[in-house]
Structure 1
Amino acid sequence: MIFRIKSLQLGVFIFCFMQFSVTCYAQKRPNVLVIISDDQGIGDFGFMGNKTVKSPNLDRLAKESAVFEKLVVAPACSPTRSSIMTGRNHLLAGVWGVGARNNLLRDEHLIPEYFKDAGYHTGYFGKRDGVYNHEKQIWDWGCDEASHVTGYKHKDAVSITQTGNVQRKGWTVDVDVDNSLDFIKRQGDNSWWCTTAFILPHLPWIPDERFAKPYRDAGHSKTLADFYGCVTQMDDAVGRLLKGLDDLGQLDNTIVLFLSDNGPTYKDMSDIDIKSRNILDLKGQKSTVWENGIVVPFMVRWPKKIVPGIRKQFATVEDILPTLIDLAALKQTLPDQLPFDGISLKPALMDENAASIDRQVLRVAISGKGAAGTYAGFRGIVNNPKEVSIEEQHLVLRGERYKYHNFADGNTALYDIIRDPTESIDISTQYLEINKLFEMELEKQYAKILNSERVFRMPIVKIRDVNGQGYNKVYGAMAEKAFGVNEILKFNNLKGFSAKGDNASYTISVEKAGEYKIQIFGENFSNESDWEIEYNEKRYSYSILNRNEMIFNMVQFDKPGLQTFSLKVNNNMAGLAMPVVEQLNFIYTKFN
């Protein structure tokens, strides 16, 4: 009897100990907070040497963090943010630009899936780029809670949530912080992952007056004062976010990451304004693959685990997800996971003297000369993705020391970016062997990306009988092919259709076969023009046409699956304003 009692007591003790151990383990797991700013260049930080901008909270965070001063990102927001979320080159993830070219493929896995699989609670608040593909939202990718601002409205914006659109009151950066802290507070002892993705300091530069006024009072132009005001307002939001974490007693058990998504834009700025911001005198800006477009500071704070200080090891945006998986000791893979292009930076974070891995990354110009789809009169449409050549683009292969440029005019150059960070002295003829190695590696990486058949394609929207977020709406610029002079405007609109035979073809995924009404919105539709839709060897004429709208009734999509139709103009419209197709709405009207 005594033996049984002692055995029972021992069993209870072991059980309680195991439960205690599991609880302690769960409590010891680090939380993760990722903070992303928008269009903040490498020179737009006080801790990077800018003596004008006021960023005290980011400066303090830098002192408490391991800092990679030149993280290699992509030249624009959607590409960089998709790489953050997938750990992959943005081109392989399907994203080759912004707007219609932000084609995050549905088979990718995003950060919240890895954390949710490990039992974390997951939240995402702020900018939507890089975390959705039309009907598939971040809550379909493992996020428990999310709220997205629409566009770049810095005050009183509308947010997209799981339950519908919500009208917000107040500054968007403050709403994002409030939502983040509310989510974190409700997690209690549960481990959490949260991203706060600001839209500041992206255009339009309309900050709270109290942040811009000190810069104007100091004699700076209104444009520069407004921009710096946006930076300081965003910095203030970062400070409030970190203080909120501290007040909850969670700051020291949270891995905090901060980065910007790409280089700066200098719209309407004078040379004096630009000089104030471009403190390192780097070439280029956002959308370009010069250094100023693709390097930003990256901070990682984890008290008692990561020693603050500069990290000189080579680091890229693709490394963020593998690094977080390593730091949080998550499972390395998910079912059907595609291979990472990044590596874990944990060795460098834990040891500032850790060896740097010899590797190079490919980057592509996003817009302007040298961007895919800007050749032969086209601006943004790629008719034959498999045939987009190296020769027509501005590509770079960026390594730790050397950087190889392939220009769209056929020239190439090699720079030593440690000795020559301004990319001013071409050393290709002095280092022929290195130049050749980089040329070959660029060709190899580009061939891998092109042969994947995942890049330079437009999104395929799903069409069904019930409307819903991301369904039944195709933007004009999502044309799979376009013939005639054409141009993408405002990222999503297609301008063209000025001559007889000009047309654009669109591929859609029909979930519900049947009869649809297609409603087309745009500009400069003329009563003198003759438009038609062609599908499956049938031609449909419009029933209603006015300057801003066309309606095609009774278009029969006979079967589900991928279907391609074309929008075509059958007469010349010389002397008339060139039409712009903004979006095509599909309204289900009848079952076959």
Structure 2
Amino acid sequence: MVKIKLLILLTCIITITSSCNNSEKNAPPNVILILTDDQGWGDLSISGNTNLETPNIDRLAETGVTFDRFYVSPVCSPTRAELLTGRYHPRGGVYSTSAGGERLDLDETTMADIFKTAGYATAAYGKWHNGMQPPYHPNARGFDDFYGFCSGHWGNYFSPMLEHNGEIVKGNGFVVDDFTERGMEFIEKNKNRPFFLYLPYNTPHSPMQVPYRWWNKFENKELEMLHHEPETEDIVFTRAALAMCENIDWNVGRIVEKVDELGLAENTIIIYLSDNGPNSWRWNAGMKGRKGSTDEGGVRSPMFMKWEGVLPSGKKIDKIAGSIDLLPTLADLAGINFQPEKTLDGISLKPLLTEGKPEWKERLLFSHWSGRTSVRSQQFRLDNEGKLFDMESDPGQYEDVSDKFSEISTQLLQAKRNWESEVLSELPETDDRTFTIGHPDFPFTQIPARDGIAHGNIQRSNRFPNDSFFTNWKSTDDSITWEAEVLSGGSFEVEIYYTCPSKDAGSTIELSYAGEKLTGKIYEPHNPPLLGMEHDRVKRMESYVKNFKPMKMGTIHLKKGRGVLTLKAKEIPGKEAMDFRLIMLKRL
């Protein structure tokens, strides 16, 4: 796998056309890419929503360029894969949002790889969601610094357990504020050299947690604008989402203010977008669909790009574009010439950004998720069922005009079949990728409950795996397993993150892999309460969490190769062994 990655980097012939002194006027531009999570196109006041105020994000549009018809994937991890690679997400092996299906294939080159090779400092702070264990980890995908979490969602937004470059740490305050602080420190630290800062915020994704500073305004607010089918809307959920969006806006303002304060505005590109449609039925300009849907409302995202003094202020572009276009566009704007080994699906939008009347060919964009595919042309959308809609006269997708425009309908149906035949064929029928352990270049490997398979009585704390833990561990016949692969053999210090009431203390736990075994006894009780409900503004559907305690089990020697990593109890003196959250392996 390491050889594959090195090969990709070597085959990308990358040059940069200007000086690397960030203080010079002709220096390569910095890039700040802000991605929100589950924020719909309509969740901004610039979109016409009077329920909330987002002045800082609005100002990006007013002083920069707006892409009025910009499309992402219906859910989180696919959009992240597409913007990082410039390629449709099935090509990169992303087919799910958890349990390994969110991982980006190792032979894909990321935007961070390209900018890092061009001499940029690179960092990502927030929700990664494209793989946890190196070499899927952001530190192995071109990012010098990473702070946040790698799962698809998190269970606590107030000073939670996070990671910094693979090592478990405790967050500092509300997560989006915390990620922004890290971003501001990174900008300050790298003000004299080109940098690429990726801020993948994790809100307004549920659970719906937001500080009182933002919630107080919305808790009892009468909403002026509702979903076009108001009986479907959960008003309290909408209020929480809007409060979270106003918090995002405040943090965007802090980033812009830091750039201005350091005198970097004329040499910094700032991009703002969301990863899919809204995560509830709320006002979204009457568009059909929400998160998870391949209809317009599920995949249309706000997208603003500002580069003071270079890109025109207030320009609105009506040509369709998408997340697959960000990598080639930003590389083009930065003057980075690269020759990727794999063909990009995206194209550079630089002519639309910088030219008055550029020549521009008609194109098609494809949205795919969970067996559904839709096709967007400049004027029409062919939905998953083969119905055709004129998006200019019917943006809500009410009238099927496939009979009226039969030729166009036939063309788009064929384009859809061709795309599915080509792109979806790159996804294997079964995912034989393992959960990797012991990458030689990275000291830490996290093996979470999220990726494990429970056997016997053991149950997952919630059907959504990302922030879940295992419980109901009652028998020595019970076990948790992971299909694993040790990339480089050696000795590893093992910690498990557990909870256990005093009446059940004393269980002996065994970790085994390929004939090697390590046992440890849970001597110290640790029985914290479930957390999350005290901060939730709406009852969540995800798992509640706990403050799990790390316990050093000892050292295990692992040989290179594939096998099954197994955690089981050899002795259970009480009713249950423990509740389990995470194994941390540290190379010695």
- Shared fold, TM over 0.5: yes
Equivalent-residue separation in structure 2 for 1:199 and 1:310 (angstroms): 27
**2:411 matched to 1:427?**
no
Question: Aligned residue for 1:452?
Answer: 426
Counterpart of 1:195?
Answer: 198
2:59 maps to 1:60? yes
State the shift of 1:145 in Å.
2.0
1:295 to 285, 297, 300: 300
Partner of 2:334: 328
CA deviations over 1:101-133 (Å, ceiling 9, x no partner): 202112222112111211111122112223755
Give the alignment of 1:108-507 within 5 angstroms: 108-130=108-130, 132=132, 134-149=134-149, 151-162=154-165, 164-220=167-223, 222-266=236-280, 274=281, 277-307=282-312, 308-333=314-339, 337-351=341-355, 353-365=357-369, 371=370, 393-406=371-384, 411-453=385-427, 457=431, 459-463=433-437, 471=445, 473=447, 489-490=464-465, 507=483
Structure 1: which amino acid aligns with 2:116? K
Contact kept in structure 2, 1:314 and 1:356, CA below 8 Å: no
- Distance, in Å, in 2 between the alignment partners of 1:113 and 1:321 is 11
Displacement of 1:61: 1.3
In structure 2, the gaps of 5 or more residues are: 1-17, 224-234, 454-459, 471-478, 500-512, 516-520, 522-556, 568-578
How far off is 1:493 after superposition? 7.6
Distance in 1 (CA, whole Å) between partners of 2:140 and 2:179 is 20
Contact 2:286 2:396 survives alignment (8 Å) = yes
User: CA shift at 1:404, angstroms?
Assistant: 1.8
Pair 1:178–1:457, CA change in 2 (3 A): same
- Point out the more displaced range, 397-406 or 458-467: 458-467
Cα-to-partner distance string for 1:269-315 (whole Å, 9 max, x where unaligned) = xxxxx4xx424111111111111110111101112211131101110
Q: Distance in 2 between matches of 1:521 and 1:30?
A: 46
- The question of whether the paired residues in 1 share the 8 Å contact of 2:331 and 2:337 is answered with yes
Q: Match of 1:317, as an amino acid?
A: S
2: CA distance, partners of 1:329 / 1:233: 34
Aligned residues: 509
State the distance in 1 between where 2:23 and 2:243 align.
44
Aligned CA-pair RMSD? 5.0
Q: Does the CA contact (< 8 Å) of 1:152 and 1:199 recur in 2?
A: no
Conservation of the 8 A alpha-carbon contact between 1:259 and 1:296: yes
Which structure's CA Rg is the greater one? 1
Residue 20 and residue 401 in structure 1: after superposition, are their counterparts in 2 closer, same or farther (change >3 A)?
closer
Change (3 A) 1:476 1:264: closer
Q: Which aligned pairs between 1:37-116 and structure 2 lie closer than 5 A?
A: 37-100=36-99, 101-116=101-116
- Aligned CA distance change for structure 1 residues 131 and 159 (closer, same or farther; 3 Å): same
Aligned partners of 1:118 and 1:331 also within 8 Å: no
The CA distance in 1 between the partners of 2:178 and 2:409, in whole Å, is 49
Letter of the 1:432 partner, please give it: S
> 1 CA distance for matches of 2:142 and 2:585?
30
Q: Distance in 2 between matches of 1:297 and 1:469?
A: 39
Bigger mean CA offset, 214-223 vs 306-315:
214-223
Once the two structures are superposed, what CA deviation does each residue of 1:480-504 show, in whole Å capped at 9, x if it has no partner?
xxxxxx9964358899xxxxxxx99
Shift of 1:58: 0.9
Q: In 2, Cα distance between the equivalents of 1:476 and 1:206?
A: 22
The one-letter code sitting in structure 2 at the alignment partner of 1:248 is: L
Write the letter of the residue equivalent to 1:255: I
Per-residue deviation, 1:397: 2.0
Deviation, 1:191, is: 1.3
**What SS does the corresponding residue of 1:240 show, helix, strand or coil?**
helix
Indicate if the aligned counterparts of 2:21 and 2:193 stay in contact, CA closer than 8 A: no
> C-alpha distance in 2, partners of 1:28/1:490?
45
| Contact kept? 2:21, 2:27, Cα under 8 Å | no
**Secondary structure, aligned partner of 1:439:** helix
SS in 2 for 1:306: coil
Q: Which moved more, 1:162-171 or 1:131-140?
A: 131-140
What's the secondary structure of 1:92's corresponding residue?
A: helix
Q: Distance in 1 between matches of 2:21 and 2:447?
A: 48
Would the aligned equivalents of 1:463 and 1:586 in 2 still touch at CA under 8 Å? no
CA offset digits 1:496-539 (Å, max 9, x no partner): xxxxxxx999753245499xx9x9999xxxxxxxxxxxx99x9x
Q: Is the 8 A contact 1:492 1:582 kept in 2?
A: no
1:513/1:404 Cα in 2 relative to 1: closer, same or farther (>3 Å)?
Answer: farther
1:157-197 CA-partner distances (Å, limit 9, x unpaired): 23311272221222222211211111111123211111222
**CA shift for structure 1 position 470:** 7.0
- Higher mean Cα deviation, 202-211 or 75-84? 202-211
Alignment partners' CA distance in 1, 2:355 and 2:42: 26
- Measure the CA separation in 2 of the matches of 1:351 and 1:27: 20
Q: Contact 1:42/1:296 (CA < 8 Å) preserved in 2?
A: yes
Q: Tell me: CA distance 1:165–1:145, structure 2 relative to 1, closer, same or farther (3 Å).
A: same
Give the letter for the 2:103 counterpart.
N
The alignment partner of 1:91 has SS state of helix
TM-score with structure 1 setting the length:
0.72
User: What amino acid sits opposite 1:462 in the alignment?
Assistant: T
Per the TM alignment, residue 264 of structure 1 is displaced from its structure 2 partner at its CA by 0.5
Query: Please, which moves more after superposition, 241-250 or 445-454?
Result: 445-454
Work out whether residues 39 and 202 of structure 1, in 8 Å CA contact, stay in contact via their aligned partners in 2: yes
CA 47–116 in structure 1, closer or farther in 2 if over 3 Å, else same: same
Q: d(CA) in 1 for partners of 2:171 and 2:447?
A: 25
**Does the 8 Å contact 1:255/1:300 carry over to 2?**
yes
Residues 14-40 of structure 1 show CA distances to partners (whole Å, capped at 9, x for unaligned) of xxxxx9998886852211111111111
**Consecutive unaligned residues in structure 1, runs of 5 or more:** 1-18, 267-273, 366-370, 372-392, 480-485, 496-502, 523-534, 539-543, 545-556, 568-580
Following superposition, the deviation at residue 430 of structure 1 comes to 2.5
Alignment CA distance shift 1:467-1:478 (3 Å)? farther
